[in-house]
Amino acid sequence: MKKTIIIFIFLPFILFSQNKKSSFLIIYPANISTSENLNAEKIEYLDYEKNRSLESSNGNLKDKLKKEIEELTIEKIIGNVTLQSLQFYLYENFPKNKYSVAEKNTDSETKEKKKSDYLIEYNNLNISENKDGKLNLSFELVLFDIKKKEYLIQKEFVADEINQGGMWGCSESRFKCIINNTIRIGTAEIARKFWKE
């Protein structure tokens, strides 16, 4: 009897979750502020990511994609990987969600906002070293309900260079660690808002 009651209690929630469809607009962060002494390390990390992308394509790249790789920035990595991570985190309960990414203050952002339910932004990003010489990336995470005109998250966080392993592994570079940890914090905070509903 208990098993039957549990099934009937949770079944409507599961059916509702899988039919609910929301659209998320992720805005590429604006320029990240980086301490001057870290610029060489930042360039080295970006070169690593660009080379890795080029190698994984085995030289079979269309001009447009090649240009995107050549123009890769930390801001674009954060936006694109946030999109992929949210698709992963929310897929089981919300398989019909839609995700898009746009540059800040562009026609594309304005157009996408009209079609979106939620806006996601990482603001005031700053990369620096703490007193122990460890990298930190401080940022403000924003999750904004466009239709209700309401902030669901507007909070500051600091990502460190600790290698979390698994899908967030980052043994190649401490820059990769702070970026992965920024995205890990952001997507977990956002997903938690929707898992609660």
How does the average pLDDT of the chain come out, rounded?
86
Tell me which DSSP letter residue 117 carries.
S
State the pLDDT at residue 59.
Answer: 65
Angle at 51 between CA 46 and CA 56, to 5 degrees: 130
Q: Give the span between the Cα atoms of 124 and 182, in whole angstroms.
A: 13
The tokens for 58 are 């085995």
pLDDT band, very low/low/confident/very high, at 93 (cuts 50, 70, 90): confident
pLDDT band, very low/low/confident/very high, at 194 (cuts 50, 70, 90): confident
User: What is the tens place of the pLDDT at every residue in 155-190?
Assistant: 999 999 999 888 888 988 999 999 999 999 999 999
Residue 143 has pLDDT above 50, yes or no: yes
pLDDT band, very low/low/confident/very high, at 54 (cuts 50, 70, 90): confident
pLDDT band, very low/low/confident/very high, at 137 (cuts 50, 70, 90): very high
Q: Give the span between the Cα atoms of 163 and 169, in whole angstroms.
A: 6
Q: Give the span between the Cα atoms of 110 and 122, in whole angstroms.
A: 17
Cβ atoms of residues 155 and 70 within 8 Å: no
Residue 12 has pLDDT above 80, yes or no: no
Q: Rounded to whole angstroms, what are the CA distances from 79 to 18, 73, 75, 82, 168?
A: 25, 10, 6, 5, 16
Task: Classify 111 in phi/psi space as left (phi over 0), alpha (psi -120 to 50) or beta.
Answer: alpha
Burial class (CB in 10 A: 0-12, 13-18, 19+), 15: exposed
State the pLDDT at residue 184.
Answer: 95
User: What is the tens place of the pLDDT at every residue in 101-132?
Assistant: 999 888 878 888 899 999 999 999 999 999 99
> Which residues in the chain belong to E strands, given as ranges?
23-27, 33-34, 98-102, 118-129, 135-145, 150-160
Closest by CA position to 83, among listed 27, 45, 126:
27
Q: Rounded to whole angstroms, what are the CA distances from 191 to 5, 63, 196?
A: 28, 35, 9
Closest by CA position to 33, among listed 144, 116, 122:
122
